[in-house]
């Protein structure tokens, strides 16, 4: 595994006041608005939220994989390296070897004119001083590790010749090719059917534990978050509104948006009950409200909520638990 320089109890990823805006002639989209979090070695953090909340943009900002019109500010540190200040050469060295990404659509992530095996061996040889034969053997071992049947034949295949599940496994193999310490997974099971989704989730969790990687997993599916995460960060309108241990967030959510997500999710206890959907729609990211972005959809909104964006509050008596709500840990109860 790539050796990133981190001392005991030092996070392998440290993000402070991350902001991402997309500027065009017609509008400015405030996609990420002051995100703060840390990731410890070997930890799995899941970013949970509706489509358009800024989850994928946050993930891509960690590797600077955003288009030119994106303006990124704040501080992003991976293994002690300031990602936002790295030169393009240093950034290319970092990607793949120390931090890697599994994309949402493997069908468009692989180059269609080269075999998947060639693309994996090329990545290995780009970052490590090994022969072509050794890189080929490493690629074969990776295909076996991610449980691709007939791995020798699949290495010679083009991406369009693989099924959706096998393409995703091949994408995982590519991400793991240089044994990164940090793995980013951008909704890697969204395009797959339910049975294959479960297989991929179990595979990712098994590989994460085996290799000791730190993982940031993006999803809009509460069930997926519960299955794979040590901690959950709930995202709304480009901000983390709640972040804490998975069990605490699922059993005792503090933010109204988190409660809405959980109450609108089908589970074993919802049989015969009407699901309670969150009213309204997510805000226009080009015209965010002055106060709490969730205010227009919240049953507990107060005039103070419309006056200012709630600050991050650490809950009293709960370690490593943040919620961004004026009512949290205050005199009024969220019911």
Question: Of 174, 175, 179, 173, whose CA–CA distance to 213 is shortest?
Answer: 179
Q: Please tell me the distance from the alpha carbon of residue 38 to that of residue 214, in angstroms, as a whole number.
A: 11
Does residue 270 carry a pLDDT above 60? yes
Q: Among residues of the chain, what percentage have pLDDT more than 70? A: 93
pLDDT score recorded for residue 186:
92
What mean pLDDT is predicted for residues 186-203?
83
Q: Which residues contact 111 (CB under 8 A, 6 or more apart)?
A: 119, 159
What mean pLDDT is predicted for residues 196-219?
90
pLDDT tier at 107, thresholds 50, 70, 90: confident
229-250 per-position pLDDT tens digit:
999 999 999 999 999 999 999 9
pLDDT score recorded for residue 295:
92
Ranges of each domain in the chain: 107-179
Rounded to two decimals, the pTM is: 0.89
Burial 161-191 (b: 16+ CB within 10 A, else e): ebeebbbbbbbbbbbbbbbbbbbbbbbbbeb
272-296 per-position pLDDT tens digit:
777 788 888 999 999 998 999 999 9
Does residue 3 carry a pLDDT above 50? no
pLDDT tier at 200, thresholds 50, 70, 90: confident
pLDDT score recorded for residue 73:
96
Q: Please tell me the distance from the alpha carbon of residue 75 to that of residue 88, in angstroms, as a whole number.
A: 17
pLDDT score recorded for residue 329:
54
Tracing tokens 């794979």 back to the chain, one arrives at 228
Highest mean pLDDT out of 7-21, 54-68, 276-290, 303-317: 54-68
pLDDT score recorded for residue 330:
53
pLDDT tier at 331, thresholds 50, 70, 90: very low
DSSP-derived secondary structure letter, 181 = S
Does residue 67 carry a pLDDT above 80? yes
pLDDT tier at 64, thresholds 50, 70, 90: very high
Does residue 32 carry a pLDDT above 60? yes
293-310 per-position pLDDT tens digit:
999 999 888 889 989 899
């Amino acid at each position: 595994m790539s050796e990133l320089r981190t001392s005991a109890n030092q996070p392998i990823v440290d993000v402070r006041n991350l902001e991402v805006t997309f500027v065009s002639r017609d509008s400015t989209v405030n996609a990420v608005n002051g995100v703060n979090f840390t990731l410890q070695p070997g930890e799995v953090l899941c970013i949970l939220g509706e489509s358009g909340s800024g989850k994928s943009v946050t993930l891509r900002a960690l590797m600077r994989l955003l288009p030119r019109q994106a303006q990124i500010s704040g501080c992003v540190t991976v293994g002690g390296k300031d990602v936002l200040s790295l030169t393009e050469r240093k950034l290319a060295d970092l990607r793949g070897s120390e931090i890697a990404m599994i994309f949402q659509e493997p069908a468009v992530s692989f180059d269609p004119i080269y075999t998947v095996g060639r693309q994996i061996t090329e990545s290995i040889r780009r970052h490590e001083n090994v022969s072509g034969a050794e890189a080929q053997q490493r690629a074969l071992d990776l295909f076996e590790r991610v449980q691709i049947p007939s791995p020798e034949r699949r290495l010679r295949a083009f991406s369009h010749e693989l099924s959706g599940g096998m393409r995703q496994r091949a994408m995982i193999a590519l991400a793991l090719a240089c044994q990164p310490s940090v793995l980013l997974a951008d909704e890697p099971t969204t395009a797959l059917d339910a049975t294959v989704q479960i297989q991929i989730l179990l595979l990712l969790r098994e590989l994460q534990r085996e290799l000791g990687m730190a993982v940031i997993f993006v999803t809009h599916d509460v069930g997926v978050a519960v299955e794979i995460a040590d901690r959950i960060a709930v995202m709304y309108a480009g901000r983390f509104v709640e972040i804490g241990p998975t069990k605490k967030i699922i059993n005792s959510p503090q933010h109204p948006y988190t409660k809405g997500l959980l109450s609108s999710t089908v589970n074993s206890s919802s049989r015969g009950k009407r699901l309670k959907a969150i009213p309204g729609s997510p805000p226009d990211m080009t015209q965010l409200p002055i106060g709490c972005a969730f205010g227009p959809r919240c049953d507990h909104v107060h005039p103070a909520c419309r006056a200012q964006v709630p600050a991050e509050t650490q809950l009293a008596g709960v370690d490593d638990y943040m919620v961004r709500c004026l009512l949290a840990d205050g005199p009024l109860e969220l019911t």
